[in-house]
Structure 1
Amino acid sequence: MADRARRQQPRGAATRQRGRPVLTGRALVLGAIMVLLVVILASPITRYLGSRSDVSHAAAQLHADRTELHQLTRQKQRLADPGYIQQQARNTLQYAMPGDTVYVVVDKGAKSALASSSGGGKSTPPKGRAWNTRIWASVRSAGR
């Protein structure tokens, strides 16, 4: 009867019953070597991947810097041209050259800012105390 039971069991089951360990010495050594390799190679691989990332970031920064340098060089060349400076003064600062006729377009019913800023040629000093007297009075009243 024992012979029949052995014949019906699969072959792997019979070897386990005989006392053969599931984890052999070879498997243990192989596992230890794998763990050792992972521990030893983890740091260099991490540094390698980090340096590759740094190199790609540096390349992108270099490209951006070269583009900015090219734009600044073009701007420097434009600013060296007196005609460009004059054009910028006219457009940005709204300057007019001597002899130019300046037209100011004002909406219907609105006052021109040009008329209020010019003062109409009359300059009247403010009435009352002088400016320095008013400042000292405000300093004294703030100290109370």
Structure 2
Amino acid sequence: MAKRPQLTGRAAILALVVCAIAMSLAYPVREYIAQRRNIAELEQQRARVEAERQKLAEQARQVNDPDWTKRTAKERLHYCGPGEKCYVVMKADPNDEKKPVAAAREQPSSPWYQKVWESIEAADTGTGQKAPTGEKSG
């Protein structure tokens, strides 16, 4: 009995056809998966945009409501209607005692430009010392 070869001509042709089919389907399957991913991303984006649209529509309804406008004006801008008594309660700052008083700060003895002029006068006289304030050298 003769030994049959393990790979027959029919098996080789079948393997070649299966590889050709697999190669021809690889690109469309890859594109299909990419398009499905793109569709999922677009659906998420559409959901975000729809949520934002609903939020803006709700804000538009609130703005057109006169009661909301009055309430907002009172809360945020401290408006008071005619005949109403309105009070604004100020919270005490716990750091008030720690802050230095602005009036207690020392004022500089002379402005910067006067100091510059005095140094120029001192350089002009060649003494290296400042000229007396208010005295002009000639």
- How far 1:76 sits from its partner (Å)? 1.3
Higher relative contact order (CA 8 A, sep 6+): 2
Matches within 5 A, 1:1-144: 18-91=2-75, 93=76, 95-97=78-80, 99-102=84-87, 104=89, 112=92, 128=107
What is the aligned-residue RMSD (CA, Å)?
3.4
How many residues are treated as equivalent by the alignment? 102
Structure 1 unaligned regions, length at least 5: 1-14, 107-111, 117-123, 137-144
Structure with more of its chain in helix, by fraction = 1
* C-alpha distance after superposition, 1:3-53 (max 9, x if no partner): xxxxxxxxxxxx6xx231011111111111111111111011110121122
* C-alpha distance after superposition, 1:55-110 (max 9, x if no partner): 2322232233222212211101212334313312333x36141532316386xxxx
Which stretches of structure 1, 4 residues or longer, exceed 4 Å deviation after superposition? 126-129
> Structure 2 length normalisation: TM-score?
0.56
> Structure 1 length normalisation: TM-score?
0.54
1:34 and 1:59 map into 2 onto residues whose CA distance is 37
